[in-house]
Amino acid sequence: GAGVSQTPSNKVTEKGKYVELRCDPISGHTALYWYRQSLGQGPEFLIYFQGTGAADDSGLPNDRFFAVRPEGSVSTLKIQRTERGDSAVYLCASRPKTGSGNTIYFGEGSWLTVV
Amino acid sequence: KQEVTQIPAALSVPEGENLVLNCSFTDSAIYNLQWFRQDPGKGLTSLLLIQSSQREQTSGRLNASLDKSSGRSTLYIAASQPGDSATYLCAVHRGDRGSTLGRLYFGRGTQLTVWP
Protein backbone atom coordinates (compact mmCIF):
# COMPACT_ATOMS: atom_id res chain seq x y z
CA GLY A 1 0.00 0.00 0.00
CA ALA A 2 0.90 3.66 -0.12
CA GLY A 3 1.64 3.93 3.58
CA VAL A 4 1.73 2.02 6.84
CA SER A 5 -1.81 0.95 7.67
CA GLN A 6 -3.00 0.20 11.21
CA THR A 7 -6.28 -1.29 12.35
CA PRO A 8 -8.34 -0.65 14.29
CA SER A 9 -7.81 3.09 14.48
CA ASN A 10 -9.66 3.16 17.80
CA LYS A 11 -10.39 0.40 20.28
CA VAL A 12 -12.20 0.59 23.60
CA THR A 13 -12.02 -2.54 25.69
CA GLU A 14 -12.78 -3.61 29.21
CA LYS A 15 -10.07 -4.32 31.73
CA GLY A 16 -9.00 -7.94 31.55
CA LYS A 17 -9.93 -8.47 27.90
CA TYR A 18 -7.65 -9.58 25.07
CA VAL A 19 -6.79 -7.17 22.26
CA GLU A 20 -5.12 -7.53 18.87
CA LEU A 21 -3.74 -4.60 16.91
CA ARG A 22 -2.75 -5.05 13.29
CA CYS A 23 -0.08 -3.36 11.21
CA ASP A 24 0.29 -3.58 7.44
CA PRO A 25 3.68 -2.08 6.51
CA ILE A 26 4.71 -0.51 3.23
CA SER A 27 5.19 -3.23 0.65
CA GLY A 28 8.75 -4.50 0.52
CA HIS A 29 9.83 -3.02 3.85
CA THR A 30 11.81 -5.61 5.77
CA ALA A 31 11.95 -3.92 9.16
CA LEU A 32 8.79 -3.34 11.20
CA TYR A 33 8.56 -1.55 14.55
CA TRP A 34 6.01 -1.18 17.31
CA TYR A 35 6.01 1.82 19.61
CA ARG A 36 3.66 2.96 22.33
CA GLN A 37 2.91 6.62 23.02
CA SER A 38 1.16 7.94 26.08
CA LEU A 39 -0.29 11.44 26.29
CA GLY A 40 2.42 14.08 26.43
CA GLN A 41 5.22 11.57 25.96
CA GLY A 42 7.44 10.56 23.10
CA PRO A 43 7.00 7.14 21.51
CA GLU A 44 8.41 4.30 23.58
CA PHE A 45 9.97 1.35 21.77
CA LEU A 46 8.31 -2.05 22.17
CA ILE A 47 9.68 -4.44 19.55
CA TYR A 48 11.07 -4.61 16.06
CA PHE A 49 11.15 -7.31 13.41
CA GLN A 50 13.68 -7.98 10.71
CA GLY A 51 11.69 -10.16 8.34
CA THR A 52 9.73 -12.74 10.33
CA GLY A 53 11.88 -12.76 13.43
CA ALA A 54 11.86 -10.38 16.37
CA ALA A 55 15.31 -8.76 16.30
CA ASP A 56 14.78 -6.83 19.52
CA ASP A 57 11.85 -7.34 21.89
CA SER A 58 13.47 -5.72 24.90
CA GLY A 59 10.85 -2.95 25.02
CA LEU A 60 7.88 -5.20 25.68
CA PRO A 61 6.82 -4.23 29.20
CA ASN A 62 5.80 -7.69 30.43
CA ASP A 63 4.62 -11.10 29.28
CA ARG A 64 1.09 -9.85 28.58
CA PHE A 65 2.45 -8.27 25.41
CA PHE A 66 3.38 -10.34 22.39
CA ALA A 67 3.86 -9.61 18.70
CA VAL A 68 4.14 -11.75 15.60
CA ARG A 69 4.99 -11.29 11.96
CA PRO A 70 4.57 -14.80 10.52
CA GLU A 71 5.09 -14.06 6.84
CA GLY A 72 7.41 -11.09 7.10
CA SER A 73 4.74 -8.56 6.16
CA VAL A 74 1.69 -7.94 8.36
CA SER A 75 2.30 -7.86 12.10
CA THR A 76 -0.07 -8.26 15.02
CA LEU A 77 0.52 -6.90 18.50
CA LYS A 78 -1.36 -8.94 21.08
CA ILE A 79 -2.18 -7.76 24.58
CA GLN A 80 -3.60 -10.18 27.11
CA ARG A 81 -5.49 -9.30 30.31
CA THR A 82 -5.51 -5.62 29.46
CA GLU A 83 -5.02 -3.07 32.24
CA ARG A 84 -5.99 0.58 32.38
CA GLY A 85 -2.31 1.50 32.17
CA ASP A 86 -2.16 -0.06 28.71
CA SER A 87 -4.25 2.82 27.38
CA ALA A 88 -2.11 4.60 24.80
CA VAL A 89 -1.57 5.03 21.09
CA TYR A 90 0.20 2.06 19.57
CA LEU A 91 2.28 3.13 16.59
CA CYS A 92 3.65 0.88 13.89
CA ALA A 93 6.47 1.85 11.56
CA SER A 94 8.47 0.26 8.75
CA ARG A 95 11.77 0.81 6.97
CA PRO A 96 12.75 -0.31 3.47
CA LYS A 97 16.08 -2.08 3.93
CA THR A 98 19.28 -2.21 5.86
CA GLY A 99 21.41 0.86 6.27
CA SER A 100 21.11 3.84 8.55
CA GLY A 101 20.31 6.21 5.71
CA ASN A 102 16.78 4.97 5.21
CA THR A 103 14.06 6.88 6.91
CA ILE A 104 11.29 5.27 8.91
CA TYR A 105 7.60 5.58 8.07
CA PHE A 106 4.91 5.59 10.73
CA GLY A 107 1.26 4.68 10.59
CA GLU A 108 -1.41 6.82 12.23
CA GLY A 109 -1.65 4.54 15.21
CA SER A 110 -4.22 2.47 17.03
CA TRP A 111 -5.75 4.34 19.95
CA LEU A 112 -6.40 1.85 22.74
CA THR A 113 -8.57 2.76 25.72
CA VAL A 114 -8.98 0.27 28.53
CA VAL A 115 -11.94 1.03 30.79
CA LYS B 1 20.78 3.85 28.20
CA GLN B 2 20.21 6.56 25.61
CA GLU B 3 18.17 9.50 26.87
CA VAL B 4 16.82 12.23 24.61
CA THR B 5 15.74 15.61 25.95
CA GLN B 6 13.92 18.33 24.06
CA ILE B 7 13.73 21.97 25.04
CA PRO B 8 11.43 23.84 25.19
CA ALA B 9 8.48 21.57 25.94
CA ALA B 10 6.15 24.13 24.40
CA LEU B 11 6.53 27.23 22.31
CA SER B 12 3.97 29.80 21.16
CA VAL B 13 4.99 32.45 18.65
CA PRO B 14 3.46 34.86 16.15
CA GLU B 15 3.59 34.08 12.48
CA GLY B 16 6.82 35.02 10.71
CA GLU B 17 9.24 34.35 13.52
CA ASN B 18 12.34 32.22 13.09
CA LEU B 19 12.48 29.39 15.60
CA VAL B 20 15.04 27.08 17.14
CA LEU B 21 14.07 23.78 18.74
CA ASN B 22 16.68 21.94 20.75
CA CYS B 23 17.42 18.27 21.21
CA SER B 24 20.14 16.66 23.33
CA PHE B 25 21.12 13.02 23.74
CA THR B 26 23.35 11.30 26.26
CA ASP B 27 25.13 8.69 24.14
CA SER B 28 27.01 10.05 21.12
CA ALA B 29 27.35 6.61 19.52
CA ILE B 30 24.50 7.10 17.07
CA TYR B 31 23.93 6.16 13.44
CA ASN B 32 21.62 9.03 12.66
CA LEU B 33 19.18 11.52 14.10
CA GLN B 34 15.72 12.30 12.78
CA TRP B 35 13.27 15.09 13.33
CA PHE B 36 9.57 14.25 13.09
CA ARG B 37 6.38 16.21 13.06
CA GLN B 38 3.23 14.94 14.77
CA ASP B 39 -0.16 16.55 14.27
CA PRO B 40 -2.87 15.97 16.90
CA GLY B 41 -4.33 12.49 16.61
CA LYS B 42 -1.96 11.52 13.84
CA GLY B 43 1.16 9.47 13.35
CA LEU B 44 4.67 10.80 12.87
CA THR B 45 5.98 12.31 9.66
CA SER B 46 9.72 12.36 9.08
CA LEU B 47 11.04 15.85 8.34
CA LEU B 48 14.80 15.49 8.21
CA LEU B 49 17.33 12.70 8.73
CA ILE B 50 20.95 13.52 9.51
CA GLN B 51 23.55 10.80 9.22
CA SER B 52 26.13 10.63 12.00
CA SER B 53 28.81 11.75 9.53
CA GLN B 54 26.84 14.84 8.50
CA ARG B 55 26.58 18.22 10.16
CA GLU B 56 23.26 19.43 8.80
CA GLN B 57 20.34 18.83 6.49
CA THR B 58 17.96 21.29 4.88
CA SER B 59 14.47 20.96 3.48
CA GLY B 60 12.64 24.11 2.49
CA ARG B 61 12.27 26.35 5.53
CA LEU B 62 13.69 23.66 7.82
CA ASN B 63 17.33 23.21 8.73
CA ALA B 64 18.61 20.63 11.18
CA SER B 65 22.12 20.53 12.55
CA LEU B 66 23.94 17.79 14.42
CA ASP B 67 26.89 18.04 16.78
CA LYS B 68 27.46 14.41 17.65
CA SER B 69 30.39 14.97 19.98
CA SER B 70 28.39 17.27 22.23
CA GLY B 71 25.18 15.27 21.86
CA ARG B 72 23.08 18.06 20.45
CA SER B 73 20.85 18.84 17.49
CA THR B 74 18.81 21.87 16.61
CA LEU B 75 15.87 22.28 14.27
CA TYR B 76 15.63 25.73 12.77
CA ILE B 77 12.31 26.83 11.27
CA ALA B 78 12.44 29.97 9.18
CA ALA B 79 9.52 32.34 8.72
CA SER B 80 7.09 30.24 10.75
CA GLN B 81 3.50 29.82 9.59
CA PRO B 82 0.30 28.73 11.39
CA GLY B 83 0.48 25.50 9.42
CA ASP B 84 3.72 24.69 11.24
CA SER B 85 1.75 24.22 14.46
CA ALA B 86 2.38 20.66 15.63
CA THR B 87 4.57 18.66 17.99
CA TYR B 88 8.15 18.22 16.84
CA LEU B 89 9.97 15.10 17.98
CA CYS B 90 13.64 14.32 17.88
CA ALA B 91 14.83 10.71 17.72
CA VAL B 92 18.26 9.12 17.64
CA HIS B 93 19.01 5.79 16.07
CA ARG B 94 21.67 3.96 17.95
CA GLY B 95 21.70 0.61 16.19
CA ASP B 96 21.52 -1.64 19.23
CA ARG B 97 23.40 -4.90 19.28
CA GLY B 98 25.32 -4.13 16.11
CA SER B 99 22.21 -3.82 13.98
CA THR B 100 21.79 -0.78 11.79
CA LEU B 101 18.03 -1.20 11.99
CA GLY B 102 17.80 -0.82 15.73
CA ARG B 103 15.36 1.12 17.77
CA LEU B 104 14.85 4.86 17.81
CA TYR B 105 15.02 6.75 21.09
CA PHE B 106 12.58 9.66 21.19
CA GLY B 107 12.37 12.84 23.16
CA ARG B 108 9.06 14.06 24.54
CA GLY B 109 8.72 16.66 21.83
CA THR B 110 8.24 20.40 21.55
CA GLN B 111 4.64 21.51 21.09
CA LEU B 112 4.70 24.44 18.71
CA THR B 113 1.85 26.91 18.19
CA VAL B 114 2.18 29.60 15.54
CA TRP B 115 -0.60 32.14 15.69
CA PRO B 116 -1.62 34.46 12.86
Distances (CA, A) of A40 to A110, B23, B34: 16, 16, 19
Q: What beta strand segments (E) does A10-51 contain?
A: 10-13, 19-24, 31-37, 44-50
Q: Is the pLDDT of residue B29 over 70?
A: yes
Of A42, A45, A104, the CB nearest to B108: A42
B56-59 vs A88-95, strand pairing mode:
unpaired
Residue B64: list chain A partners with CB under 8 A.
none
| Rounded CA separation B25/B70 (Å) | 9
Mean pLDDT rounded to a whole number for chain B: 91
Q: Does A98 touch chain B (CB under 8 A)?
A: yes
- Tell me the average pLDDT of chain A: 92
- Give residue A1's pLDDT: 53
What was the pLDDT predicted at B94? 75
Q: Which residues of B touch A56 (CB under 8 A)?
A: 96-97, 99, 102-103
Q: State residue A89's pLDDT score.
A: 97
pLDDT of residue B102: 74
Name residue B75's amino acid: L
Low-confidence winner among A37-51, A95-109, B43-57 (lowest mean pLDDT): A95-109
Residue A46 · residue A58 · CB < 8 Å: no
Q: Name which of A30, A11, A42 is nearest B99 in CA terms.
A: A30
CA dihedral B72, B1, A95, A63 (to 10 degrees): -150
Q: How many residues does chain B have?
A: 116
Q: Is B54 on the interface with A (CB under 8 A)?
A: no
* Cα→Cα distances A68→A7, B31, B88, Å: 15, 27, 30
Per-residue pLDDT at B1: 79
pLDDT in tens, A40-50: 899 999 999 98
Distance from C-alpha of A56 to C-alpha of A47, rounded to nearest angstrom: 6
Q: Which residues in chain A have their CB less than 8 angstroms from residue B5's CB?
A: none
Three-state secondary-structure class, residue A84: helix
Say if residue B41's pLDDT is above 90: no
Name the DSSP letter for residue B41.
T
Contact A38/B at CB under 8 A: no
pLDDT at B52 (0 to 100):
87
Q: Given CB atoms, is B81 within the 8 Å cutoff of chain A? A: no
Query: Tens digits of per-residue pLDDT, B59-116?
Result: 999 999 999 999 999 999 999 999 999 999 999 987 655 555 678 899 999 999 999 9
Contact B27, B94 (CB under 8 A): yes
- Interface contact A62, partner B, CB < 8 A: no
- Does residue B7 register a pLDDT over 90? yes
Q: Which residue has the higher pLDDT, A1 or A16?
A: A16
pLDDT at B96: 56
Radius of gyration of chain A (CA): 13
Q: B27 in contact with A at a CB cutoff of 8 Å?
A: no
pLDDT of residue A110: 97
Backbone dihedral angles phi then psi of residue B2, each to the nearest 5 degrees: -70, 130
List of chain B residues whose C-beta atoms are within 8 Å of the C-beta of residue A48: 101-103
* Residues, chain A: 115
pLDDT recorded at residue B88:
98
